[in-house]
Amino acid sequence: MKRGFKKFLFGLWEILEVSLIAAVTVFLIRTFLVQPFLVSGASMEPNFSDGNYLLVDEVTYRFRTPERGEVVVFRYPLDKSLFFIKRIIGMPEERVVSQNGRIKIFKNGVEIMLDESYLLPTAKPSDNFDIKLSADQYFVLGDNRSHSFDSRNWGAIYRRDIVGVARLRILPIRDFGVFEAPSY
C-alpha cells in the first residue's frame, strides 16, 4: 500500500512539474516575444478585418526602430489600457501633409511620395492636415481611412507606446499568412 501511494505522489509531482514548466514557458513567450491580438473594427480593411487573430512580434523593436509601412500594435495615447492597430506613415522628425487624400512626407526638405497600393481607391478621404513630428513620434493611419480613428484624430504616438509589429495572421485559417511592410 505504501509503495503504491509513493508511486501515485511521484506521478502527481511529474504532472505538476510539467504543467509548471509549460505555464512559465507560455508566460515568458507571451510577455517578451509574441503577443496575440484580435482585430476589432473595420479601420484596417481590406488588409485586416474584424475578428482576425494576429501574432504581434515584440522582439524586433528591441533591436531596431519601427519602419514606415509596418503595421503596429500600440497603446492608445488617451487610454493606455486600450490597444490599437494601425500602419506607420510618418517617422520621427518628418512633416506629414495630406491634401485631398494624397499623403506627402517631408524629411530634411525632401518630399517623399507614398505609393499606398495596399489601400482601396475609396479609402482615401479628402481631409487635409499638416503635422510636424518630434524625435520620438510616429504618425499612424488605418488602411480604411474613411472609417479609421487614428493620428488624424488624436495626434502622433510615441515610440514607448508601440508594443510590436504584426507578423502573422492565424485566424481565419483561409487568410493565414505572414505580413511584410510595403517598400516605398
The strand ranges marked E within the chain are 34-38, 53-57, 71-75, 83-90, 95-99, 102-107, 110-113, 129-132, 137-141, 157-158, 162-171, 177-178
Is residue 184 situated within a structural domain? no
**Is the domain of 134 the same as that of 163?**
yes
Residues 88, 93, 98, 102, CA torsion sign: negative
Q: Which amino acid is at 157?
A: I
Q: What pLDDT was estimated at residue 27? A: 65
pLDDT mean over 128-150: 92
Using a pLDDT cut of 70, give the percent of the chain over it: 89
**Is the domain of 44 the same as that of 103?**
yes
**Is the domain of 1 the same as that of 65?**
no
**Is the domain of 89 the same as that of 144?**
yes
**Domain of residue 155, residue span:** 36-178
- Whichever domain contains 52, its CATH number is 2.10.109.10
Confidence of residue 29 (pLDDT cuts 50, 70, 90): low
Q: What whole-number distance in Å separates Cα of residue 117 and Cα of residue 1?
A: 73
Kindly report, residue by residue over 45-101, the tens digit of the pLDDT.
Answer: 889 999 999 989 988 998 999 999 999 999 999 999 999 999 999 999 999 998 877
Residues pairing with 96 in the sheet = 105, 131
**Is the domain of 7 the same as that of 89?**
no
**Is the domain of 66 the same as that of 131?**
yes
Q: What pLDDT was estimated at residue 124? A: 65
Record the pTM. Answer: 0.80
Count up the domains in the chain and report the number: 2
- Written as nine digits, the cell of 8 is 501515485
Confidence of residue 184 (pLDDT cuts 50, 70, 90): low
**Is the domain of 65 the same as that of 140?**
yes
Active-site annotation, residues: 43, 86
**Is the domain of 24 the same as that of 107?**
no
**Is the domain of 13 the same as that of 50?**
no
Statement: residue 9 has pLDDT above 90: no
Kindly report, residue by residue over 112-134, the tens digit of the pLDDT.
Answer: 878 787 888 776 666 788 999 99
